[in-house]
Amino acid sequence: MNINIAEVARTEEESIRDFMNTLGRQLDSSDPKIDETVRRAAFLVRQNYVKIKTYNTRTDTTVFTVRDASMANVNLTFNPISLSCSCGNHDFCRHTLAAIFSLYQYIDSLSTWLEQFRSNAQAKQLSLLTEDRTPETWLNFVQGIYKRNLYTQTNLNPYLLDSIFSDMIDQIYSQMPLEREWKPIYLVFMQVSLLSHTWKHFSQSKTEAAQSFYHNFIEDELEQLEDMLRDAKSNSRLFALDPFYNTLKDVAHYFLLNQHGFVENRIELYLLLWNHLFTSTKDREQELARLQTAHSYSDDLSIEQIKAIFLVMLDKTDELEAQMESMKVDDVLSWIELARTAGLNNQEAVRKQIIERIIPLLPEFINESLAPHFRMSFIKRFDEERQGVELSEAQEETLFAAYGKYGLQPFSNFLIRKKRYEEWAALHQLYPTSLAFLEICGLKTILEEKPASLLPLYHSLVQVEIMQKTRQNYKTAVRLMKKMKSAAKKSGKNEFWNDYVATVRKNYKRMRALQEEIEKGNLML
C-alpha cells in the first residue's frame, strides 16, 4: 500500500519538532565531522534518496530505506523519537538524520533549520577565534568559510571563482585581530590556508580559457601574498606567534607535496614563505630533512629540485654541480626558482651559472613544454629574473631566438641597447603588432636615433590599414602617414616623402574616402 510521507509528518508533527530542536542543541555544529554528516544527510533528502517503507500507527514506528553507496534501513519510533540504522553506526549517522530531515521538510523549512545550524557553528568559531587563539582554531575557521562558500561547487564557472574567493577573504578580514603584531601573520596564514583549500577547483575545467583565467588569478593572489610577507618580515615577532609559524610550515609543506596542478605556482608560493618568513638556518635544515624523507608526493613535482633550492639557501652550493650537469628541459621551472633563491641569498655566481645552463634548454621548453597562452608571461618572468646577469652576445642571441614572437619587447630593448636600429625595424615588420606596442618597445628612441629605418615599418602599417577599406581605417592610415612624414623629415628625405604620398594617391585613386582623408591630412612636405 502507498504511504503518504506528508501525512505521517503532519500526524507526528509535535514529536518531530521537539526532536529537531533537541538535535540543534545536541549536535556540535563546529565539529567538521558532524557538519559533514549533516551536509550529506541533507544531500540525500534533496536527491530524493529517502523513501518511507512502512508506517505502523498502532506501534508508532516507521521504516525508511535510504539509497546511499549501499542501501540502508532506518527504524524510527515516535513518542519519544528513537532511531536506529542498519549501517551499524551507534551515533547519529547520515541515514538516520536523512530520515528525520525527510519528515521535517513537510512541516517546516529544512533549509532554514540548516542555515540556523551552520550559523551556530560560525558564531562558535568566531567566539573561539578571539577567546582561544590557536593555529587549530584559525585552520578550522578557514575550513568553515571554505565549506560554506566553495566546497560544494563541483562544476563552478571559472569566472565566478574570483568573486567567491573575494567574498571568503572579506569574511576572513572581518575577524582580523586588533593587535598590530598579530595582523601580518594572520593575513599570511589565512591567505595560504584558503588558497590550499581552493586549489583543487583549479583542475575542474581543462579548457584553455579556464586554465588561462586560473593562471592569472593565482598570479594575482601570489603578488598579494608577497606584499603581505614583506609586511610580516618587517614586523616584530612575538614568542606567542611561534606555534602559528610552525603550523604554517606544515601547511606549506603539505600544499607543495600533496596538491596537484599549476606546479610552477605551487613552488612559487612555497618559496615565497621560505625566502621571506622562514629564514633561520635551523628551520631550513629541518625542512630539508623532511624533504629527504618524503616518500609520497604529487607526480608533477621534482622533489630533487626542491632539495637543491634548500642547498642554495643553506650555502651548500658545491653539492649542486652534479645536478646542474644533468639539468633537463622538464626541470626548467624549478631551476628558475632556484636562480631566484640564489639571488635572494646574495649568491650571484650560482645564479649566473644556473641562468647560463637554462638558456640552451629554452627553445625546446618554450615551444614544446609550454602552452601558447603561457609563453608570454613565462618569457616576461624569465627575462626579469635574468636581469643583472652578464651574458655573452651569443648567449643573448640564443635567448632571444628562443623567445620568438613572444619576446618582442625584451629583444627590442636588447637591439636598442646594441644600437641595431635597422634590425629593430625589421623585427617589427616580421611580427606586426600595433602602434601602441611599438611605443612600448622603444619606437621614440628609434625615431630620434635612426628615423630612416622606420620608413619601411610605417609603410607596412599604412598598407594594413588601407586594405581594411573603411573610413575609420583610412583615418588611422593617415595618422600613421603623419608619423612617417615626421620620420622622413628628420632623416632629410623630403623628396622621397612627397613622391611616396603621390604614389599612394595614384595607386588608390578609386578609393574616394581615402583620397579625402589624405587631402585633409596635409601630408606634403
Residue 125 has pLDDT above 60, yes or no: no
Domain shared by 136 and 232, yes or no: yes
Residue 155 lies in a domain: yes
**In the listed set 254, 283, 312, which residue is the last one of a domain according to the structure?**
283
Determine the angle formed by the axes of helices 421-430 and 455-466, rounding to 10 degrees. Answer: 20
Domain shared by 273 and 140, yes or no: yes
Looking at residue 130, its pLDDT comes to 59
Residue 295 lies in a domain: no
Domain enclosing residue 211, as ranges: 132-283
Q: What percent of the chain has pLDDT over 90?
A: 45
Interval 321-349 mean pLDDT: 84
Domain shared by 384 and 312, yes or no: yes
Looking at residue 397, its pLDDT comes to 85
DSSP class of 61: E
Residue 482 lies in a domain: yes
Residue 81 has pLDDT above 60, yes or no: yes
Domain shared by 73 and 136, yes or no: no
Model confidence at 124, in pLDDT bands (50, 70, 90)? low
Domain shared by 276 and 309, yes or no: no
Residue 396 lies in a domain: no
Residue 460 lies in a domain: yes
Spatial separation of the C-alpha atoms in residues 169 and 142, rounded to whole Å: 9
**In the listed set 390, 405, 425, which residue is the last one of a domain according to the structure?**
390
What 3-state DSSP class applies to 72? strand
Domain shared by 259 and 327, yes or no: no
Model confidence at 60, in pLDDT bands (50, 70, 90)? confident
Domain shared by 141 and 279, yes or no: yes
> pLDDT tens for residues 382-421?
988 898 898 888 898 889 889 988 889 889 988 998 899 9
Is 80 in contact with 15 (CB distance < 8 Å)? yes
> pLDDT tens for residues 444-494?
999 999 999 999 999 999 999 999 999 999 999 999 999 999 999 999 999
Domain shared by 193 and 86, yes or no: no
Residue 128 has pLDDT above 60, yes or no: no
DSSP class of 470: S
Domain shared by 139 and 272, yes or no: yes
CA dihedral sign, ordered 339, 187, 227, 205: positive
Q: In whole angstroms, how far apart are CA 260 and each of 204, 255, 266, 272?
A: 12, 9, 9, 18
Domain shared by 362 and 253, yes or no: no
> pLDDT tens for residues 129-186?
556 789 998 998 899 889 888 887 777 788 888 889 999 999 888 888 888 888 999 9
Domain shared by 146 and 271, yes or no: yes
Neighbours of 248 (CB within 10 A): 21
The number of domains in the chain is 4
Residue 180 lies in a domain: yes
**In the listed set 283, 314, 349, which residue is the last one of a domain according to the structure?**
283
Domain shared by 320 and 460, yes or no: no
Residue 398 lies in a domain: no
Residue 82 lies in a domain: yes
Looking at residue 198, its pLDDT comes to 94
Neighbours of 209 (CB within 10 A): 11
> pLDDT tens for residues 179-215?
888 899 999 999 999 999 999 999 877 888 888 899 8
